[in-house]
Chain A
Amino acid sequence: MATEPVPGGADPASTPPVVDAPQEVAAWEGLEATAEFKDLVRARWKFVIPATVFFLVYYFLLPVLNGVATGFMRTNVIGDVNVAYLFALSQFLMAWLLAFFYIRRANTVFDALASRVRELAGRRVQS
């Protein structure tokens, strides 16, 4: 993965970002405009945006409900285990499940799309 050709080639992390040769900027912009790259970005955001919104809402629902629906959250469900505690435990399950789905999607879908973009970049440098 690391040895694949790069349109730029310089080490921008340590050099000041002077405008590189115009063809180099064009190369990055060109890659960004390809259908392959757009597919990758679209696939990622299609998962990441809803998942992020979901976990933020689900998480903050816990402290908000603890404050607003105090009585409901203190209701016992099983023995002396109340809604608030079960909701808190469910956050662990939620986090693990979302992480599992993300990683499965990334390993199968995103990685394949990303390697298509890298192959394309390799061909462009050679030609």
Chain B
Amino acid sequence: MNVTLLLFLIVVGITLVITGWAARRANTTVQFWAAGRGITGWQNGLAIAGDYMSAASFLGIAGLIAFNGYDGFMYSVGWLVAYLTVLFLIAEPMRNTGKYTMADVLAYRMRPVPVRSAAAVSTLAVSASYMMAQMIGAGSLIKILIPTLDSNLKGWFSWEVLGTKLDPSITLVGLLMMIYVIAGGMVATTWVQIVKAVMLMGGAILLSFLVLLHFGFNLGNFFTKIASVKDAKSGLNFMQPGIQYQYGKETVWGIDKALLENVSLGMALILGTAGLPHILMRFFTVPNGRAARTSVAWAMGLIGSFYIMTTFLGFGAATLVGKAHICAVGSTCKTPNSNLAAPKLAEFLGNSFFGTGGGEFLLALIAAVAFATILAVVAGLTLAASSAFSHDFYVNVLRRGIAHGEVSEREQVLVARITAAVVGLIAIWLASKAGATTNAAALVAGLAFVIAASANLPAILFTLFWKRFNTWGAVAGLLGGTVMSIWLYTIGPGFSLPVPTHPAFPLANVGIVSIPFGFLCAVVFTWIGELVRADRLAEIKFHEIDVRAQTGLGAEPAAAI
């Protein structure tokens, strides 16, 4: 058995043991959705880091920096600064007023049936686009890094469903995430995320250390080497901004297009994080608002340290391996694959420090870390997506809101598990179908963050802090932001491969239009709602949410596990 497969099986083994242990603690709704609210601040901080740093962070940013130099580093900056929005405005009020989902907070003031339905739509849209990207990435990663596994899997999973042949690697990832969530709920998901965060940090520290060791811990030499790497197209060196989006080439609406792309990307990164359902959901797992605050502190420490290390991973790959040599093992390297920057760097460092066996081992280790990374993120996403459907839509809209019935704990958890299974199966099918034609890496920053910022953020912020906000505004913000983001994105240059030459919308990053549009929808429809006197309750209920959000009075208590 080769070392890659062994490490890979160890990761799977650890996560399954965790799931087995957690399975006994996933029988009630508060356990299944919120781990009994018994996760401590630092544990939740690690779990947030594990939930947040996806394959797009680890492989994606390392690759972007290795290929585009400085411009790739902008993602690292944005993804950390985003947590200030979460810390200042979202984390504690969320914990103080919510129960299991973002929609719980909105339903405090608004009419629950329309607002929960709209929130379920936006949550599913964010989670689905995020999950697609992760699973497509996982599929291609396994094929390239562990080709033997993929060919072995073919014998086991070669099913054809509705005319789409399921990808065996994607199916494996999908089945594992379904096992974690269905059997172990939030408890298993949390601990899988914690283990992954530790592995990811360990991997990044090891690689960064070896890169520095290679340069004799002389940072000056390192940066001189980076500056000697030139981009062929623009002639810029890799320390200079402007390689990914070239400045002074084109103008859109009278402004430099590269500037707009970067600002638009920044808006999505900074504002989108605070609206990601799988991150918001993590704040319901801690006992109180103070622990929510502590968990953001821990998360920021870890996430920030990791993103600083992307300097060493990305620039290390650019200088030591070189763009031209970053591609799959055995191929002739005609089309470099940016996702392989970190694995290739690991292989190079292993070879140079520990001989040939070392290269193979480090490559295998980094592949295993990347695999754990993907598993932890997709588990969080599955949980968020199934909560939107089962808790918001099935339990609160269909059964309580429309049928005026009562729903037992048993039924709620059962429906949650069934929904997680359905979400997983749909994700496997869609990812297998879309795999070849979708620009997977761009889906995350391009769509998931934009929908979160355009639809979820205005609804949450206005619910918590704007007295006049009402059901009309909330529903319009959620749906308007979601639809506008998806529409602009699909007609823009970011969505499909190959990239269209004359897209109907000029920018790949659509946030600069869709985010203000989402906020505008929320405001304008609040006024219209007031004009027709549709929803007087929302304003009366504001006093309650105001006091609760600020003080934690009457917050959901921690359950005894």
Q: Give me the interface of A with B, judged by CB distance under 8 Å.
A: 1-4, 6-9, 12-19, 25, 28-29, 31-32, 37, 40-41, 44, 48, 51-52, 55-56, 59-60, 62-64, 66-68, 70, 73-74, 76, 78-82, 84-85, 88-89, 91-92, 94-96, 98-100, 102-103, 106-107, 111, 114, 117-118, 121
Contacts and interface: CB of A to CB of B under 8 A. Distances in A.
B358 interface: no
B99 A14 contact: yes
A56 B266 CA distance: 10
A79 B442 CA distance: 34
Given A14-B99, A79-B220, A118 B401 contact: no
B543 A95 contact: no
Contacts, number: 202
Interface in B524-553: 537-538, 540-541, 543-544, 546-547, 550-553
A102 B300 CA distance: 13
Nearest to B541: A17
Contact of B297 (A17, A76, A99, A111): A99
Interface in B88-134: 88-89, 92, 97-99, 104-105, 107-113
A59 B81 contact: yes
Given A17-B108, A118-B552, A64 B70 contact: no
Nearest to A44: B550
Contacts of A79: 220, 223-224
A114 B551 contact: yes
B36 interface: no
Nearest to B544: A28
Given A28-B544, A68-B259, A13 B99 contact: yes
Interface centre among A17, A32, A52, A114 (most CB of B within 10 A): A17
Given A64-B263, A99-B83, A52 B89 contact: yes
B553 A73 contact: no
Nearest to A116: B551
A66 B558 CA distance: 47
Contact of B223 (A29, A44, A80, A84): A80
Contacts of A106: 92, 290, 293
B400 A14 contact: yes
B108 A37 contact: no
B247 A70 contact: yes
Nearest to B255: A67
B414 interface: no
A108 B521 CA distance: 38
B262 interface: yes
B554 A6 contact: yes
B308 A118 contact: no
Contacts of B110: 17
Secondary structure dominating the interface of B: helix
B500 interface: no
Secondary structure dominating the interface of A: helix
A48 B89 contact: yes
Contacts of A19: 537, 540
Nearest to A115: B551
B304 to A, nearest CB: 5
Contacts of B111: 16-17
A17 B543 contact: no
B256 interface: yes
B108 A12 contact: yes
A82 to B, nearest CB: 5
B258 interface: yes
A32 to B, nearest CB: 5
A27 to B, nearest CB: 9
Contact of A37 (B301, B551, B554): B551
A80 B228 CA distance: 9
Nearest to B99: A13
B240 A51 contact: no
Given A13-B98, A121-B553, A91 B81 contact: yes
Interface centre among B76, B84, B400, B547 (most CB of A within 10 A): B547
Interface centre among B108, B262, B544 (most CB of A within 10 A): B544
B258 A1 contact: no
Contact of A73 (B108, B241, B396, B541): B241
A85 B69 CA distance: 11
B416 interface: no
